[in-house]
Each structure stands twice: as structure tokens, then as C-alpha cells.
Amino acid sequence: MHFRKLLQAVFATAVALGPVALGGAAVQAQQYQNNRAYGPAISGFNVEEVRRLVPGVELHFDLYGSPGGSATLRIDGATRNLNLTEVEPGQYTGTYTIGSRDRIRADSSVTANLRLGNQVATNLLRESLLQSNAPRGERRGQLAANLAIQRFEVEASPDLGPGNELRFTVFATPGARVELAITGARGVFFLPEVRPGEYDAVYTIRNADRINRDSRVTATIRANGRTATSVLGRPLLAATRTTEPRQARYCTNCATVEAVNVIEVSGNGNYLGTVGGAVVGGLLGNQIGSGSGRTAASVAGAVAGGLAGRNIERNMKRGERYEVVVRYTTSGATQTLQFENDPGFRQGDRVRVNNGVLARDQ
């Protein structure tokens, strides 16, 4: 009779703990979705400079970066912030109309924030808001005697239509910031320093670009308020042999690996671990005290044993899985693919996505 009461108390404890275990697992899954390891990035930031900074004048801004985010600008001297609209995947635009209470100057700093989930990328505008007769690289700061671009190269493309790529490489003073401006493309985009003194990036031609073979490409290097510039001396269109058939470069399923994330997955304790632990805990508690005190000790032991059993089973089922985030070349959209084991891909790999299957682009 007494053992029957003990089993009833153990079963009631297991039923009470079951929703807690499942609820905790759901919360953990939700937190995992909201805290994925990859974050946003800003690849370009530009403003259409104006002749005067007076009330009623409009300042048009363009921001290029990770698609699907939320972009805002803060202008020193402005009374409000500006929210940008994503007009194409990864391209954000917006217009700020100067008000009578604004105190915006030509050298007012403009800060861009691109938020994706709970992560934020920040960038500062590197050019003046006011038009000037000076060349782009000389508007702010002075040319530095020890800041120089030694070499400026491009890997030309056989086609300058949307979706095709141009790889630019700049060899210059290490530890600086390098940006490119292409005639026929709006805004500027940045070249990260891949090795000391070597800056490299791939520009994907957009639908709105009007780039031709002889479009002027200007590289600007900045450091400590000083700048230096260089103009590309090569055509952007690669020479092709007339005897070779021309292959189309427009590929709808071509993509580049943007991130590879290793995710730790916590195991979920089920009723088996909970009930098993509760039984053991109840039996141990039954050895303490007598009468009503023994019953209370049995219930307390069942609760503690159930919790311990659930945690032990969860730890035993803990494992890892992999997420590969790819960005499509033509649209700029991103997709996340999940793998139980290491798929062997790394950031920057060129791949193709066929019906959810990831393969290298040979």
C-alpha cells in the first residue's frame, strides 16, 4: 500500500516536470534561432553631394551590405535619424531633407548602422556632404607622402552584364582603408586587407549598373586623415577569342559561401530519464524519517531525482551540427543550409545549390 502511494507521487512528479522539460527545450531552440553566429557586413556607403546645405535641400544616401537587415543613419547636426529602405537585396537607400532646425555642415560625420537580428555593423561616411571642385580623393585630408598605392589590378570579365563579377586587387600601404568607385555604378565599395598591404574584393555587377569596357575605376586609400588615389589602367572587359564559343555567365543557382557556423545542440531529457530519476530519488527519500515525514522525504527525493535524471539525459544527447550560409551571385539573397556533419566548405568557396544540395562550382 505504501509503495503504491510512492509510485503515484513519482508519476505525478514526472507529469509535472514533462512540460517544463519540453518548454525549456523550446526556449533554447528559439534562442538559438535568434542568436546565429553570422552577422551583418557593410560593403559600401555613399552620398550624392549637394551644392548647399540649407533647409529644403535633400541628401540622398546609398548603403550596400548584407541583405534582409535594417539600416539607419545618424547625421551630426541633424534633429532626427534616417531609416533606409532596401530597394534590392543588399542595397539600402534613403533621402534626408534638411530642416530649419538642423545644423548640418560639410564635415558633419554620418554613421550608418546595419542591424541583422541582434547584431549590428557600423560604418562612417568618408566623403564630404558638400560638392567641391577638388578630385574625390582630395576632398578631405591631405595627400600623404608615405601613403601610396603601388599596384592596382583587375580580373576582367568576358561579360559586363548583371550577375558577372570583377575582382579588384590593390597593393598599397598596410593597415589602411581602401575603397573603389566605378563609373556607371552608384556608390563606393570597400576592399578588405586580406594580407599586409594587399586589399582584395569581388564586385558583383547589379541590374542598375551601366559599366562598360572603359569605365573609370578609382581606388582611394585612407589612413589618419590622409588619402592617396590611383586610377585603374586596364579595361574591365576581358578579350575573348572569336573561335571559342562564348559561355553564358548568368547563373541563377551560383553562390558564394558567406559563413560556416558550428552549432552546439543541447539534448532534450524525455520522460524516461525524468521518471527513472524520480523513482531512484523517491526510493532514497523513503529511507528517511517515518510516517508523514517519510512521505514528504519521498516526494522531495522524487522531485530532485527527476530533475537530475532529465539533466543527465540531456547532457548525454548533446551534439553539434553545421550551418552553411550562401549568398546568390545574381540576386544577392542568402540561404542557410544545415548539415549533421562537417560539409567541408569554407568561407569564400564558390558553390551551386541544386534542390537544396550544395556542390562546389567547378
What pLDDT does residue 212 have?
92
- Of 40-44, 78-82, 99-103, 238-242, give the lowest mean pLDDT range: 238-242
Reported CATH class of domain 139-231: mainly beta
Q: DSSP character for 24? A: H
Torsion sign (Cα): 28, 30, 32, 35: negative
What pLDDT does residue 152 have?
94
What pLDDT does residue 96 have?
92
Q: Which residue has the higher pLDDT, 73 or 136?
A: 73
Q: pLDDT tens across 27-67, in order?
A: 333 333 433 446 788 888 888 888 889 988 889 888 888 88
User: Domain locations in the chain?
Assistant: 2-34+267-317, 42-124, 139-231, 254-264+320-360
- Prediction pTM value: 0.42
Question: How does residue 250 score in pLDDT terms, banded at 50, 70 and 90?
Answer: low
What pLDDT does residue 346 have?
85
- Of 39-43, 138-142, 283-287, give the lowest mean pLDDT range: 138-142
Question: How does residue 140 score in pLDDT terms, banded at 50, 70 and 90?
Answer: very low
What pLDDT does residue 312 have?
62
Q: What is the DSSP string of 241-284?
A: -TTSPPPP---SSEEEEEEEEEEEE-----HHHHHHHHHHHHHH
Report residue 105 CA to chain centroid gap: 32
Question: How does residue 177 score in pLDDT terms, banded at 50, 70 and 90?
Answer: confident
What pLDDT does residue 308 have?
61
The Cβ-side half-sphere exposure at 152, using a 13 Å CA radius, reads 21
Domains 42-124 and 139-231 share a fold: yes
pLDDT mean over 236-256: 67
Q: Which residue has the higher pLDDT, 336 or 241?
A: 336
Q: Taking a C-beta distance cutoff of 8 angstroms, is the pair 67, 86 a contact?
A: yes
The Cβ-side half-sphere exposure at 309, using a 13 Å CA radius, reads 24
What pLDDT does residue 4 have?
55
Torsion sign (Cα): 92, 97, 102, 104: positive
CA distance 300 to 359: 55
How confident is the prediction for the chain on average, in pLDDT? 75
- Of 105-119, 161-175, 330-344, give the lowest mean pLDDT range: 330-344
What pLDDT does residue 296 have?
53
What pLDDT does residue 215 have?
93
What pLDDT does residue 24 have?
44
Q: Taking the domain 42-124, which CATH number applies?
A: 2.60.40.10
Q: Taking a C-beta distance cutoff of 8 angstroms, is the pair 113, 92 a contact?
A: no
pLDDT at 18 over 80: no
pLDDT mean over 144-164: 85
